[in-house]
A = this chain, B = another copy of it.
Amino acid sequence: MNKIYNPKREDWKSILKRPTKSVADIESTVNTVFDELQKDGDATIKKYTEKFDGVSVADLLVTDDEIVEANSLVAIELKEAILLAKENIDKFHAAQKTESIEVETSPGVHCWQVKRPIEKVGLYIPGGTAPLFSTILMLAVPANIAGCSEIIMCTPPNKEGKIHPAILYTANLCGVTKIFKVGGIQAIAAMTFGTESIPQVYKIFGPGNQYVTVAKQIATKYGVAIDMPAGPSELLVVADDTANAEFVASDLLSQAEHGVDSQVILVTTSKAMLESVEKEVELQIEDLPRKDIAQKAIDNSKLIYLEDDQTAQELINEYGPEHYIVCVEDEGSYLSAISNAGSVFIGNYTPESAGDYASGTNHTLPTNGYAKQYSGVNLDSFMKSMTFQKISKEGIQEIGYAIELMAEAEGLQAHKNAVTLRLNSLDDE
């Protein structure tokens, strides 16, 4: 671990730098698949599923029988855990519903704002060794609360052409309308353009490897919206002497096990805590099944000592962590100071894992400093707001002259005419 004591402000940028990757090679692969899929639809999906996933899939759509089978394969205890998590996620996201707002801005000028669901959304769930059913909860639950009418999901099949039972169970539980056995670039392309089997969607959500990430970025060029740009997952913990070094170390490691490029940072105003956390990490890492991955992330991690709270708070805002754990005596000061973070975990009994799975908050969060400008996924991610206005005869007489003047000053005579005609008709009345 890299220990850094009182870094100079001019060095913050380089200390907090995230690793950046070249995507030029990936882009050309993505463009090839996109071009082919636009022409050949399902045939392209099958071709690349054979090439990338090493399996030939006859039917892309998961059948009801497969879902029934999956249902019987998931342990009852896990189902109960998933149900608890679903209930909490449901409560927290349902509370995010907002009322329409209406204002009479000038006499006779009524303006209102209404949110409506995005009708067609697509969820991407990665494959690999671990079945990320928790991400289905985080995406499908708010999509349902929003009222999206079509919620499709794409996830890659394994070598036997199957999908993990926990994935199918959770997707069915959360009201996903159709599940397709397709992953990677071809899944994103299919949801972008639509194929014979897979419907086109208006917005794509979900994590993925760097191919999926670049494919989502390129999909936006074709008019599809995406949840947010992605980067490696990251955690920053701020801890003082009131923190528990054992707990802090376990949180840092839970981040580190995600991948070798995971970002793990401790900021502390206590040199003793810095030393204790380092020792605890070395101890706990030994027993982890994913030790090799975690070790590489830990090797790149940073333990930063800063003399005072204000400087620490400024550095944390400069970084803008995806996950931010606050274990300090003076919580209030850190909470009011934080401007840039995805999700904040407070106190010694609030591990990041809680928010990853079951507390109710969303775990799809802005990485890579994007907390400066992006929200994590929330109910509004599945809706768009529209404005309405209705102006009475009195209303247009109230604001018409201002519109005429402004339109004229912008050189838009027809804009002015649309008002003048109406005002003249009222003069004649």
Contact = CB atoms under 8 A, between A and B. Distances in A.
B391 A421 contact: no
A131 B410 contact: yes
A368 interface: yes
B98 A401 contact: no
Interface string A389-405: 11111011001011101
Interface stretch (A43-51, A179-187, A375-383): A375-383
A88 interface: yes
A84 interface: yes
A132 B406 CA distance: 10
B95 A98 contact: no
B80 A402 contact: yes
Nearest to A118: B373
Contact of A409 (B133, B341, B369): B133
Interface string A345-378: 1111111111111111110001011111111101
A384 to B, nearest CB: 4
A312 interface: no
A356 B405 CA distance: 13
Interface stretch (A33-41, A216-224, A265-273): A216-224
Interface in A293-314: 294
Interface residues of A, number: 129
Interface stretch (A3-11, A64-72, A253-261): A253-261
Given A88-B105, A347-B391, A387-B376, A78 B417 contact: no
B361 A111 contact: yes
A166 interface: yes
Contacts of A390: 345-347, 350
A414 B256 contact: yes
Interface string A331-354: 000010011111111111111111
Interface string A226-266: 00010000000000000010110011011011100000000
26 contacts: A80-B402, A81-B403, A81-B406, A88-B109, A96-B113, A116-B340, A118-B372, A130-B411, A133-B410, A134-B410, A225-B370, A253-B414, A253-B417, A253-B418, A284-B414, A342-B386, A345-B390, A347-B391, A350-B389, A351-B418, A352-B418, A354-B389, A354-B419, A355-B389, A358-B399, A362-B387
Interface of A: 77-78, 80-82, 84-85, 87-88, 91-92, 95-96, 98, 101-103, 105-106, 109, 111, 113, 116-120, 129-134, 166, 202-203, 217, 220-221, 223-225, 229, 244, 246-247, 250-251, 253-254, 256-258, 284, 288-290, 294, 335, 338-362, 366, 368-376, 378, 380, 384-393, 395-396, 399, 401-403, 405-407, 409-419, 421-422, 425
10 cross-chain pairs, A with B, having the tightest CB-CB distances, nearest first = A105-B360, A81-B402, A88-B105, A202-B373, A130-B411, A351-B418, A250-B418, A346-B390, A81-B405, A225-B373
